[in-house]
């Protein structure tokens, strides 16, 4: 029972971190602040209390530092060029692509599901459908063995 409740707690903490990441990456794109400033601002926010702060920091730093590479990857799987994407969907896709490429401990189905839920919550009306389609193509290419299993 202990491991199961630990896994659920980790899942909730990472879900909360991803929610903060969607907001932080929107701010990064719109305001152009350094990720370090955004990191400190979000950790000071009471909403960060339930979030996995290490996961949040890793992904925020990884996405902020790797935006060009993530956009190159995104361009392979999207019919809309990254520069033309809505900032919310763009940030959500960055997080998910980062996870698909660098966090192999997170199953691809979890990555896609979490991204789709964020897009439903914060994105445009049908943005979640676009996010799902892009990530489905990306997962097939980036994690073919996991997809086949």
Q: What is the pLDDT along the chain (149 residues), one digit of tens a residue?
A: 467 788 899 999 999 999 999 999 999 999 988 999 999 998 888 878 899 999 999 999 999 999 999 999 999 999 999 999 999 999 999 999 999 999 999 999 999 999 999 999 998 889 999 999 999 999 999 999 886 65
Does residue 107 sit in helix, strand or coil? coil
> Is the distance from CB of 57 to CB of 84 less than 8 angstroms?
no
* Total count of domains within the chain: 1
3-state SS, one letter per residue, for 26-91: HHHHHHCCCHHHHHHHHHHCHHHHHCCHHHHHHHHHHHHHCHHHHHHHHHHHCCCCHHHCCHHHHH
* pLDDT (0 to 100) of residue 100: 97
* pLDDT (0 to 100) of residue 25: 95
CA distance 88 to 140: 23
The domain in which residue 133 lies consists of 2-148
> Any idea what the CATH number is for the domain that residue 94 is in?
1.10.940.10
């Amino acid at each position: 029972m202990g491991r199961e409740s630990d896994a659920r707690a980790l899942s909730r903490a990472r879900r909360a971190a991803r929610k903060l990441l969607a907001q932080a990456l929107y701010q990064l794109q719109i305001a152009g602040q350094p990720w370090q400033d955004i990191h400190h601002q979000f950790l000071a926010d009471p909403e960060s209390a339930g979030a996995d702060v290490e996961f949040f920091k890793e992904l925020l730093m990884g996405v902020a530092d790797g935006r060009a590479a993530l956009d190159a990857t995104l361009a392979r799987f999207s019919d809309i060029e990254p520069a033309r994407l809505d900032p919310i969907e763009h940030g959500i896709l960055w997080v998910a692509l980062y996870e698909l490429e660098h966090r192999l401990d997170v199953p691809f189905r979890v990555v896609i599901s979490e991204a789709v839920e964020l897009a439903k919550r914060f994105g445009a009306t049908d943005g979640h459908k676009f996010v799902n389609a892009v990530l489905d193509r990306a997962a097939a290419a980036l994690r073919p063995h996991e997809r086949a299993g």
